[in-house]
Every structure is written in structure tokens, then in C-alpha cells.
Amino acid sequence: ETGVTQSPTHLIKTRGQQVTLRCSSQSGHNTVSWYQQALGQGPQFIFQYYREEENGRGNFPPRFSGLQFPNYSSELNVNALELDDSALYLCASSSGEGLPYFGPGTRLLVL
């Protein structure tokens, strides 16, 4: 196991709702990145946080936002959920530019 944990494991929401996903990084890691993996696709980079600041963002709209806390844990918030937001959301932690280690993911279903 990598030591990266995510909650919840599964979630069902309806269109228009808001969701918050959580991630605890591996001990000693100060960087957290979030990915969205739709069925049959590879993970797509959403954004990355380093020492509580966003330092990289993929092609996702502003309704995808995040936070990183002083203990380096992180949240991903998605507002105004759409059906296409249904996916596995993966959090990965790393130390600076080291290799990322993934958590088990949160499976989100939007109805």
C-alpha cells in the first residue's frame, strides 16, 4: 500500500450538486495532484498543489477547484456536477518532482 488514502470510496450525486473529495498524502510528501479517469480512458491531470498553492492545472473548467492544507492533505471540489463528471477521481502524492503514488480513488457517479 502507498499510504495515500482517499474518501469517500464511492459517491452518488445528481446533476447540479456539489461534491468534495478528500485525500491524505503519504508521510513526507508535500505535493498532491488530482486526476480524473473516465471509463476506458487514462487518468487526466486536473491540478497539482505544492505547499498549499496550486502550481499546475490541466484542461478542466473553474468549477473544479481544490485546496491543500498545512498537513499536505487535499480536497477536490466540483460544483454544478454534470453527467460527464462521472469517473474515478485519483489523488497522487509525491515529494517535489518525485514519482507520484496513487491513492485508491473515489468513484463518483452523477445521475
Partner 1 sequence: RKEVEQDPGPFNVPEGATVAFNCTYSNSASQSFFWYRQDCRKEPKLLMSVYSSGNEDGRFTAQLNRASQYISLLIRDSKLSDSATYLCVVIDPGTYKYIFGTGTRLKVLA
- Residues in contact with partner 1 by CB under 8 A are 2, 33, 35, 40-45, 48, 56, 58, 90, 97, 99-105, 107
Are 80 and 18 in contact by the 8 Å Cβ rule? The answer is yes
Residue (15 or 99) nearer to partner 1, CB: 99
Residue (66 or 100) nearer to partner 1, CB: 100
- Least distance CB 102 / partner 1 (angstroms): 4
The residues, ordered by sequence, that sit 6+ positions from 87 with a Cβ below 8 Å of its Cβ are 36, 37, 38, 39, 107, 108
- Least distance CB 16 / partner 1 (angstroms): 27
Residue (1 or 70) nearer to partner 1, CB: 1
**Angle at alpha carbon of residue 12, lines to 110 and 34, rounded to 5°:** 75
- Least distance CB 45 / partner 1 (angstroms): 5
Residue (43 or 110) nearer to partner 1, CB: 43
Q: How far apart are CA 10 and CA 5, in angstroms?
A: 13
CA 3 to chain centroid, in Å, comes to 15
For residue 46, the one-letter residue type is I
- Least distance CB 86 / partner 1 (angstroms): 14
